[in-house]
Each structure stands twice: as C-alpha cells, then as structure tokens.
Amino acid sequence: MKILKTIPQLSTVLALVITVIILASCSSSERLLSVEDMEPASISNQELMDLVPDYSEDLETLKGNGRAIVSEPGGSDRVTLQFQSDREKSLITIRTSIGIEGGQILVDSDSLLIYNRVDKYAEKVSLQQSNLTSIGSLASLNMLDMFNFTMEEDDIRGIFENDEYYVAVLNNRTQVTLSKKDGLIQNVIQSGGEAAYSRIDYEGYAQIEGFYLPRKITILSSDGSSQATFLVQRLEVNNTLPPMEISIPENIPIYRI
C-alpha cells in the first residue's frame, strides 16, 4: 500500500516541520538568491551570528501537530502529523485526513525506524544508507533541528548582501539566507550531492514563549523532484516529553536495510 511510501515522505517535514498551502515553487522561490547578483557584505562573521537567533542551548524540546502535503511526480498526499522532539530524537505519528493512524517514525542520531501500522511492517534504516530514496533520505532530519537551523561562526566562509537579505556561504557550500531586519532564516540551500535535501524554506515566523519559530516549512528532496510542506497548527516548547519509542508487536519483524 501507499502508506509505507508516505511515511518517509512526511518525516521530512520534520525529518518536521503548514488553511490553504502554496507550494514552494510559488512564493518561496521568490526568495532564492544568487550570490553572483549580490555584493560582499560589510559585516563580520561574528556580527552576523549576533543577528541570528540561536536557541541551541535554550530550546530543548518541541511538541505539536500540523497538516502536511507531500508532492512528488505522479501525485500528492495530505496527512496530519503529530510530533515530539528533543536534540537527540524525534517521534512522528502520521494520521490520514479522517484520523486513522497510518504509522510512526522514530529518528535518532544514527538510524530511522519506520512502523507501517496498516501493512504491519517495520524497517530500520541507517541514516548513512546510500540507497535511500530521495524523499526517504529527508527523514534523517531531527524535527527540533529543522525548526531551529543553527550554524557556527567558524562554519561561515563568506557573506553577501542586498538591500533586504544576507546570504552566508558555509564551508560545506550550504547557503543560508536571512533577513536583515530580524535575522530570521528564510531558506537553507544544500549543494552537495550527498545532502539529505536540496532546500528548506521557512515562512510565517511567530513568537512562542520567547522563541521565534516558523509556522510553515517546505522541504525539497535532494534531486528537487519532490517536496513536503508542513503547516504547524499547534506548537509547544520546552515541555517534559514522554519516552520516545515505537511499540511494535512481537509478531512483526523489523527489517534492517
């Protein structure tokens, strides 16, 4: 059935992380900038880092839910996601539009466990597996890290600017676009062939208990052919989370890939 295919697609949205949803090929693409059309910035790496909100120490957990659309060649799917995440793990529960639980995904530091409740099937995949599909590989994204993308001062190789945005080019060729007005990240573009995704777009930032977090996240697969858009409906920060684990019946084998 298609549920197993849908599960890795939607862990992307978190992977996190969204009403009517306009897919990234429309409004989000307007913010894609080329450093060739920009000037070298007049600020230092440290000044840029001072501008960007960094919650890597203060934001410890996230919990919430939302609606997601996954679009790929041949069609699209709409589902509801419930998620909880700390810096080590993310647990995502996927439900159909009528509330039926289709499965769960557990992402930790080195593996991805997928449980297809409908087809009674489970598999565990190393995040370093080279044979993951382009959409499935996005599941390697921790939900909390997706909502709060962070970088270090030493990671920055160059900074460019125009009237509205800075673009930081990192040592691994990642490009991070952020607003001059408030330092909020607009998108992250990966150019490396082994990257789990090619682009993440952030929109609709809102303040939640002192943290500015996006309410809409759109992720494009590494080959650019598929995308997942997540619209957050509820978000809680720094609450105590229950243990993140998936209860798989003993009669269901876990296939390891």
Q: Which amino acid is at 146?
A: M
What pLDDT, on a 0 to 100 scale, did the predictor assign at position 213? 96
Retrieve residue 179's tokens. 């607003």
Asked if residue 216 belongs to a domain, the reply is yes
Asked if residue 171 belongs to a domain, the reply is no
Q: What is the pTM of this model?
A: 0.80
Asked if residue 228 belongs to a domain, the reply is yes
Asked if residue 179 belongs to a domain, the reply is no
Asked if residue 134 belongs to a domain, the reply is yes
What pLDDT, on a 0 to 100 scale, did the predictor assign at position 127? 63
Number of domains in the chain: 1
CATH for 134: 2.50.20
- Cβ of 198: how many Cβ atoms within 10 Å? 21
Cα distances (Å, whole numbers) of residue 57 to 3, 111, 129, 242, 246:
36, 24, 30, 20, 27
User: CA 8, CA 135: separation in Å to the nearest integer?
Assistant: 7
Parent domain of 123: 3-31+58-150+202-256
What pLDDT, on a 0 to 100 scale, did the predictor assign at position 222? 72
Asked if residue 155 belongs to a domain, the reply is no
Q: Please return the burial class of 167, using the count of CB atoms within 10 Å of its CB with bins 0-12, 13-18 and 19+.
A: buried
Cα distances (Å, whole numbers) of residue 144 to 69, 194, 256:
19, 21, 26
Asked if residue 195 belongs to a domain, the reply is no
User: CA 134, CA 201: separation in Å to the nearest integer?
Assistant: 18
User: CA 107, CA 105: separation in Å to the nearest integer?
Assistant: 6
The terminus-to-terminus CA distance of the chain in angstroms comes to: 19
Asked if residue 251 belongs to a domain, the reply is yes
In order along the chain (257 residues), what is the average pLDDT of each group of 10 residues? 43 33 35 78 96 93 90 78 91 78 83 85 71 41 86 95 95 94 94 71 95 92 78 95 92 84
